[in-house]
A = this chain, B = another copy of it.
């Protein structure tokens, strides 16, 4: 899969179709990429402007880090869809004999773990981009303030999608150690990101 090369209308048709991929996971990653692209735009519209000289160096770093993360989000969209397809494939394995059942369960559990790691990785990446969005909200070109706010809202939506997708997979995973470790890490990320969105003053 390679969503980056799909036309927007094609991608939307694929999402809307009965096929479960691309679903919320891939869309969430692409929306995170859109939010990050808006962070870059606001940074670009700020750099070189006299009124904003004080933060020029920091703004350059924001631009370069956001640009790097945006590409990562596109990769994650592909990886998320293929991880989900592996779950679907495992579910289709035969379960007529005890051996088959055992093999299917093993494969399915493996695929579910992998499928929970993708949105977890998305959530982790968003936790790194949220402060960049916060920065352009606070110190970016005031003429682009609604774009900065838009960036934060898109990152918030994609974060909620990522969290929801991790949790839905964890519910099906039987390895309790894996689940509790994952929940713990996710909870730490949630704390950071919730704080970041609070600091970004998104309320109307």
Contacts and interface: CB of A to CB of B under 8 A. Distances in A.
Contacts of A1: none
Interface of A: 3-9, 11-13, 15-20, 23-24, 27-28, 30-31, 33-34, 36-38, 40-41, 44-45, 66-67, 70, 74, 144-147, 149-151, 153-154, 156-157, 160-161, 163-165, 167-168, 190, 202, 204
Contacts of A163: 204
Copies per complex?
2
A41 B15 contact: yes
The 6 closest A-B CB pairs, nearest first, are A24-B150, A157-B157, A15-B37, A4-B9, A16-B40, A16-B37
Nearest to A40: B16
